[in-house]
Amino acid sequence: MSELVVEHPGWGTTLQDAGRPGYAALGVPRSGAVDEPQRQLLNRLLGNPPDAAVLETLGGLRVRATAPVIVATSCDHAVTVVPAGGVIVVDPLPGELWGYLAVRGGILADPVLGSRSTESRSRLGPAPIEEGMRLRIGPDPRTPLVTDHAPPRRPDDVPIGVWPGPRVEWFGEDVLDLLTSATWTVSSETSRVGARLDGPPLRRLVDAELPSEGVVPGAIQVPHDGRPVVMLADHPTTGGYPVVAVVDPAHLARVAQARPGSTLRFRLVR
């Protein structure tokens, strides 16, 4: 069986597939790739099943193939044949936070609650990637390879769509205007769990404590300091901070890929 030997694990590198939806009532987040469109694109290039697991990394990942393999990475969006002994290096694209490596046949691991995704807070799922690990590659899916590359993703300056949240009334009447007119800076406090944004504080009118309630990916929670936090793949399934808005699912990967120091703007979807 073909394997990938991890020569350098890089930073924050984990195995991610389509995630484990349906377990929020047990306190288990969906997880999966923070940039799900990227994972899907690479798997389509390789003819993999839609739920095939890939490697997700903050950069510096280096693996060696023990036998010829066909791969695609977010670095080039190209189908590449790597010979036995060949080395694959994965870094995020300039301006992006996360990079991805997909292999034809997918990367195998024992599923936990139906998924091969690693959840970063509880470490549910496969162990984080470490030096010396040998990652098994699944059998060839015997599907046609219909193209050898995909067009590069172009930078998108269009404001990110958001929907009004369930706790808008906890804030001033102009809170959505402020949210959508301000320029927000991604802070260094960003991870697979969420991205904290710096900008004008979103002040509450209601200071009471909110009983914990369900939270969805893209929910924009506002703690007492007024600095919004966008929930990402490994977010807690419940939260006690009011949700002022929710990022449209079609745009959530842009938030996840925004590097600390970069800026975001929002627009209201009605």
Report pLDDT for 157: 81
Mean pLDDT of 216-230: 96
Residue 67 pLDDT exceeds 90: yes
Digit-coded pLDDT (tens) for 229-267? 999 999 999 999 999 999 999 999 999 999 999 999 999
Residue 84 Cα distances to 45, 63, 106, 164, angstroms:
21, 12, 17, 52
210 has a pLDDT exceeding 90: no
pLDDT at site 218: 97
Structure tokens at 79: 């189908």
Q: Stretch 21-37: mean pLDDT, rounded?
A: 94
Give the mean pLDDT of 61-82. Answer: 97
pLDDT by residue (tens digit) across 72-97?
Answer: 999 999 999 999 999 999 999 999 99
Q: What is the pLDDT of residue 156?
A: 74
- Give per-residue pLDDT as tens, 105-157: 999 999 999 999 999 998 999 999 999 999 999 999 999 998 888 987 777 78
Name the least confident of 187-191, 211-215, 263-267.
211-215
pLDDT of residue 225: 93
pLDDT at 270: 74
Cα atoms found within 13 Å of the Cα of residue 255, Cβ hemisphere only: 32
Residue 93 has a pLDDT of: 94
Contact predicate 109/93, CB 8 Å: no
CB 87 within 8 Å of CB 63: yes
Looking at residue 148, its pLDDT comes to 85
**Percentage of the chain modeled with pLDDT above 70:** 100
For residue 186, pLDDT beyond 90: yes
Mean pLDDT, the chain, integer: 95
Phi and psi at residue 15, in whole multiples of 5°? -90, 135
β 194-198/266-268 pair status: unpaired
Averaged pLDDT, 194-220 = 92
- Residue by residue, DSSP assigns 49-113 as -TT--EEEESS-EEEEESS-EEEEETTT-B-EEE-TT-EEEE-PPTTBS-EEEEETT-B----BT
